[in-house]
A = this chain, B = another copy of it.
């Protein structure tokens, strides 16, 4: 299997992406990675790798990069020699089966749609995140690819989420739910209500509306929402993780507690913060495009890049694109 990696994407490029690729190829002997980016820098970073692993690392030169601040669709259209655009073209042509990038999220989405291309039958793509909830993984989509959605878009997200939960997260007959502002049938806006009617008539294991408070308990396997809602939820959790230390310190003021208690608290708060930074857990798949396109967090270091490559590999092994296409035809 051959995957492309954006060697120029993310805060720690090109060092960490290259290290991540080496690490993934070392673990998986069926894997080849095409590193796309500045050829000289990349070659230096991989030259001391074990020769067998090195023989599975390829370099494609790209002399432009797309920065985090650029307007996504514009950048993808104009920067034809950027690492992101070149890699997406390789996905489109089938030279590689998937692509991982820690770069500009909007550009990954735009590149996925405009260059790699959508799966036939999918109108809009979705970014999904597997949230670690007690005892399981809850798959939330969309978290930012499609800001506002029609019912048909949300229904397609439900189908793709069902596939991902079943085949990638390994959940038997996933419970599929719609995020709403109340669990009662009378709640929801027009779009959510129309989506419910579409899902009810499908063969998905639909379990109804879920509210925000159902998510952290892991009451369902797939939570479907538009990119606006998913994004604010995901970011809110991340912010909460980051603010926990200040919040706990404020609360400590109200409570007499030995300072030693803080020694126990600190590592726990760090664990919690990491846990709430949902995007850091492996990669975030861009569902609905041809190929295994996986976004890694912008702050990804080598282990996170490797983890995103592993997600892409699983997606290819599980025939993600073909299976989503088949699901749509039913």
A239 to B255, CA, bound (A): 24
Of A84-92, A93-101, A230-238, A297-305, the one contacting chain B is: A230-238
Assuming the contacts A248-B268, A251-B268, A264-B257, asked whether A212 and B238 have C-beta atoms less than 8 A apart, the reply is yes
A242: B residues at CB distance < 8 A: 213, 216-217
Contact (Cβ within 8 A) B238 A189? no
Copies in the complex: 2
Of A24-32, A159-167, A178-186, A194-202, the one contacting chain B is: A178-186
A308 to chain B, nearest CB (A): 21
Chain B minimum-CB-distance residue to A257: B264
Q: Could you tell me the dominant secondary structure of chain A's interface residues? A: helix
* A1 in the interface (beta carbon within 8 A): no
Contact (Cβ within 8 A) B134 A181? no
A211 to chain B, nearest CB (A): 5
* A2 in the interface (beta carbon within 8 A): no
A250 to B225, CA, bound (A): 27
* A71 in the interface (beta carbon within 8 A): yes
Contact (Cβ within 8 A) A275 B251? yes
A233: B residues at CB distance < 8 A: 212, 232-233, 236
Within 8 A of B (CB), among A246-271: 246-248, 250-252, 254-255, 257-258, 260-261, 264-265, 267-268, 271
* A317 in the interface (beta carbon within 8 A): no
A243: B residues at CB distance < 8 A: 133-134, 216-217
The 9 A-B pairs with the shortest beta carbon distances in the complex, nearest first, are: A213-B239, A212-B235, A212-B236, A261-B264, A216-B243, A181-B231, A212-B232, A134-B246, A213-B235
